[in-house]
């Protein structure tokens, strides 16, 4: 289910007449659906307290608002819309707090991020990793709820840049969470925007290597972001079952297993 709308079919291949902005809107819509699983891998620990408000706002919006809105969409559209609106406020606040935190550490970061994300992240260091990760996750989720706002949609490349910087500075952060986020990011973008399923699968392999086959959210995210796009029903079922087979991992894996079960119940809506 897309935030603020009905279930959608995946569209990753640009067609004649598709503008760059409309392609980015498609990517934002797709990314929002998948990025929530990346949040399950993010840790609130480490790197001091600067990132915690960012993580808490983003995690709260996902766990208590976006997830419920997604399930309500077909039953009570207007109630779902109200929950999406609340989630949007938390995602935007989280992103703004993340950028503000990085600005305090590196004066000029905020302006540089808007002008040239690659240049902006060059000044960041290992201690910034939690802020970089959660700012990327919050931004991706926010864009998905603001897909009709071009001034937000054009920030989509920042998600990839911030997450990639995490892999440069601390590739094993939170069990490879940034690689999972990059997998989702690459799978969600149309080819005309540089998206690559092949690269997405590479990032999946990296995340799997780091997580040691114990991250249920990674399997659910692969199924949603790659298997559905490729209409590979068999692999989708395999990924959901792998997620369900993981018994440990605390609340993080419990949420992922619950989503896997829910998605299996919707399988005929996801595959032709």
In this predicted structure, the answer to whether residue 220 has a pLDDT above a threshold of 90 is yes
Q: Determine, yes or no, domain membership for 73.
A: yes
Does 21 score more than 60 pLDDT? Answer: no
Count the alpha carbons within 13 Å of 148 in the hemisphere toward its beta carbon: 5
Residue 103 in any domain: the answer is yes
Reading the block at residue 145, the tokens are: 């709820």
In a domain, 66, yes or no: yes
Give residues with Cβ within 8 angstroms of 7, minimum separation 6. 1, 73, 74, 269
The answer to whether residue 252 sits within a structural domain is no
Look up the CATH number of the domain holding residue 73.
1.25.40.920
User: Is the confidence at residue 75, as pLDDT, over 90?
Assistant: no
State the sign of the Cα–Cα–Cα–Cα dihedral 8, 181, 162, 98.
Answer: positive
- Would residue 237 count as lying in a domain? no
Could you tell me if residue 214 is inside a domain? no
Q: Give how far Cα 1 sits from Cα of 152, 163, 262, 267, Å.
A: 20, 24, 12, 13
* 151-167 confidence digits (pLDDT tens): 998 999 999 999 999 99
Using one digit for the tens of pLDDT, what is the confidence trace for 239-253?
999 999 998 877 788
Instruction: Note whether residue 235 is domain-resident.
Output: no
Domains: count for the chain: 1
In the numeric block, which tokens belong to residue 78? 């207007």
Distance between CA atoms of residues 217 and 254, nearest Å: 9
Contact in structure between 14 and 191 (CB atoms under 8 Å): yes
- pLDDT higher than threshold 80 for residue 7: no
Helix axes 129-145, 156-169, angle to 10 degrees: 160
Mean pLDDT of all residues belonging to the chain: 83
């Amino acid at each position: 289910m897309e935030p603020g709308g009905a279930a959608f079919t995946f569209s990753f291949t640009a067609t004649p007449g598709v503008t760059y902005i409309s392609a980015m809107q498609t990517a934002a819509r797709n990314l929002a659906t998948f990025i929530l699983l990346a949040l399950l891998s993010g840790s609130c620990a480490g790197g001091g307290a600067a990132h915690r408000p960012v993580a808490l706002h983003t995690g709260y919006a996902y766990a208590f608002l976006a997830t419920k809105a997604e399930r309500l969409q077909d039953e009570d559209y207007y109630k779902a819309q109200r929950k999406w609106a609340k989630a949007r406020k938390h995602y935007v606040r989280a992103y703004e707090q993340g950028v503000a935190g990085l600005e305090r550490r590196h004066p000029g970061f905020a302006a540089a991020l808007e002008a040239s994300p690659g240049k902006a992240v060059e000044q960041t260091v290992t201690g910034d990793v939690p802020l970089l990760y959660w700012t990327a996750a919050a931004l991706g989720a926010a864009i998905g709820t603001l897909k009709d706002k071009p001034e937000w949609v054009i920030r989509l490349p920042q998600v990839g840049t911030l997450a990639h910087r995490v892999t440069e500075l601390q590739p094993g952060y939170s069990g490879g969470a940034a690689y999972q986020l990059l997998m989702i990011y690459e799978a969600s973008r149309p080819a005309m925007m540089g998206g690559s399923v092949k690269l997405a699968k590479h990032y999946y392999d990296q995340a799997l290597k780091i997580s040691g086959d114990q991250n249920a959210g990674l399997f659910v995210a692969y199924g949603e972001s790659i298997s559905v796009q490729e209409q590979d029903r068999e692999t989708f079922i395999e990924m959901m079952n792998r997620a369900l087979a993981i018994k440990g991992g605390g609340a993080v894996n419990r949420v992922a297993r619950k989503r896997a079960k829910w998605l299996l119940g919707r399988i005929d809506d996801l595959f032709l």
